Amino acid sequence: MNGAENYYRATAPGVNFPALAGRQEARVCVIGAGFAGLATAMSLMEHGERDVVVLEAEQVGHGASGRNGGFVFGGYSLDEQALLATVGAEQGRRLYQLTLGAVEQIRRRIARYGIDCDATHGGIYLANWFDEPGVLDERQQFMRDHLGVEWERISPADFAERARSERYFGALYEENAFHFHPLKYAQGLASALQAGGVRVHEGSRAASIERSGDTLRGGSARWRVATADGEVLCDEVVICCGGYIERLYPALAGAILPIATYVMVTEPLDGRMPQALATDAAIYDTRFAFDYYRPLQDSRLLWGGRISIRSRSPEDVARLLYDDMLKVYPQLAGTKVDYAWSGLMSYGRHKMPQLGRLPNGVWYGMGFGGHGVGPTSLAGDVLSAALMGELSQVDQFAAWGLPTTGGPAGLLAAQLTYWYYELRDWMRQ
């Protein structure tokens, strides 16, 4: 395999931002330069608030935002039926529609800021892994009747022609979805923020977050966010750290499970690509532990899947996913794997984004799970509106809150649940 394990990191422009040094003051300090943190800063900037500092412990897009599959589509990790069952039909539909708006917002930002992120507007297929036509019928009808979304039904024969695989039993096609290079997008957002006057600092791990001795006009104390070589004095703090929050803020870390998923990228397929795919759309399937894959613009195939409570070596990831790929595309036997990596997603126990404010005044945005590109952009709008005094949007997510995930016991339970559903899928097929 290539010496650089992450394809995205190897092919992104590699823009750099200076580490924080000395004291800075700001109205808002955002901790974490992944999609959620960058979207929060971007929404603030677009609404005229540029007195913002973004701190990133590693590099922009270091976590899940720079390692994910690059699918941009509607919905949350919590499935649509469960969403409506939790908050009711009207509110559930409203929340789902917000994610569709986020997809279009990402498109607009790509155009507005000239972000070259290999955006491929070919839609996304949900492929039926099981010989059960009712699976697609029910999903299509639910999306149409309850969420106002029309997904196109693709017959098994037509989909086999497009996907170049006999493994599936038809598909549903989501036309307004797309896929892109997530790290290029994250770096593009950070560059646009910097150009707009927002201060972005990499290599600036927050070591402590505490009230300072300074006070605001209303009498409340300001925040002091300290790093190894500097500090930010600010009126508001927003933590957007996801699966890499570690020990930064225990009150938040205890409410998420850091779950690993795996991705690999093949060598360039060149003329062999039509043997595997006759579409530029991305594809995922109807299993609980589904494959997700898409053609890249340099003729490689990106393949992701699996869920685990631990990261694996690039060699192990490549071996596992290569075997998964051949179950769908035996014609790709002998194809080399050039890149393979794992990354940590953050899941709340309820599988919904966690957006809100702690009793001490710290704002947070995390828990986007394996369906985070759209919801992270939405989170930026929700949190920026709250920071500017409009709380109605963030209140829509209050129903889920920050229930504890149980620490190591919760991780074990998550792994056992995954194995159970994996066994169930195996028995169905």
Task: State pLDDT tens for residues 13-22.
Answer: 889 999 999 9
Sign of CA dihedral 180, 182, 184, 188: positive
Predicted local distance difference test score (pLDDT) of residue 414: 61
Residue 32 backbone class (left: φ over 0; alpha: ψ -120 to 50; beta: rest): left
Res 67 pLDDT > 60: yes
Res 41 pLDDT > 70: yes
Q: Rounded to 10 degrees, what is the CA torsion of 18, 19, 23, 29?
A: 90
Q: Are 372 and 64 in contact (CB under 8 A)?
A: yes
Tell me the residue type at 107. R
Q: Which two tokens stand for residue 56?
A: 């990133």
For the chain, the structural domain boundaries read: 7-428
Confidence class of residue 202 from pLDDT cuts 50, 70 and 90?
A: very high
Q: How far is CA 263 from CA 23, 109, 420, in A?
A: 39, 26, 22
Question: Locate tokens 């898409």: which residue?
Answer: 294
Q: Are 159 and 127 in contact (CB under 8 A)?
A: yes
Distance CA 332, CA 285 (A): 19
Confidence class of residue 419 from pLDDT cuts 50, 70 and 90?
A: low
| Mean pLDDT within 320-343 | 95
Confidence class of residue 301 from pLDDT cuts 50, 70 and 90?
A: very high
Q: Are 113 and 192 in contact (CB under 8 A)?
A: yes
Residue-averaged pLDDT of the chain:
91
Q: Are 364 and 355 in contact (CB under 8 A)?
A: yes
Predicted local distance difference test score (pLDDT) of residue 403: 72
Res 220 pLDDT > 80: no
Query: Distance from CA of residue 95 to its chain's centroid?
Result: 17
Res 65 pLDDT > 80: yes
Residue bearing the bigger pLDDT, 5 or 364: 364
Sign of CA dihedral 223, 224, 226, 230: positive
Q: Rounded to 10 degrees, what is the CA torsion of 83, 88, 89, 95?
A: -50
| Mean pLDDT within 86-110 | 96
Angle (CA) 418-78-264 rounded to 5° is 55
Q: What percentage of the chain has pLDDT greater than the value 70?
A: 91
Question: Which residues make Cβ contacts (< 8 Å) with residue 100, sequence separation at least 6?
Answer: 74, 149, 176, 374
Distance CA 403, CA 181 (A): 33
Predicted local distance difference test score (pLDDT) of residue 368: 92
Confidence class of residue 412 from pLDDT cuts 50, 70 and 90?
A: low
Residue bearing the bigger pLDDT, 416 or 314: 314
Res 335 pLDDT > 80: yes
Angle formed by the axes of helices 133-147 and 80-87, nearest 10°: 40
Predicted local distance difference test score (pLDDT) of residue 256: 83
| Top-tier CATH class for 7-428 | alpha beta
| Mean pLDDT within 63-88 | 94
Res 217 pLDDT > 60: no
Distance CA 124, CA 72 (A): 9
Where are the extended beta strands (E) located within 151-295?
152-154, 171-174, 178-179, 199-201, 208-215, 221-226, 230-239, 257-266, 282-285, 292-295
Q: Are 265 and 339 in contact (CB under 8 A)?
A: yes
Separation of first and last alpha carbons in the chain: 33
Confidence class of residue 428 from pLDDT cuts 50, 70 and 90?
A: low
Q: Which two tokens stand for residue 182?
A: 């997530």
Residue bearing the bigger pLDDT, 201 or 216: 201
Q: How far is CA 2 from CA 7, 21, 255, 302, in A?
A: 9, 35, 36, 15
Confidence class of residue 249 from pLDDT cuts 50, 70 and 90?
A: confident
Q: What percentage of the chain has pLDDT greater than the value 90?
A: 76
Tell me the residue type at 148. G
Question: Locate tokens 């957006």: which residue?
Answer: 355
- pTM (2 d.p.): 0.94
Query: Distance from CA of residue 357 to its chain's centroid?
Result: 21
**pLDDT tens readout for residues 136-151:** 999 999 999 999 999 9
**pLDDT tens readout for residues 24-35:** 999 999 999 999
Predicted local distance difference test score (pLDDT) of residue 250: 84
Confidence class of residue 252 from pLDDT cuts 50, 70 and 90?
A: confident
Residue bearing the bigger pLDDT, 346 or 110: 110
| Mean pLDDT within 317-333 | 96
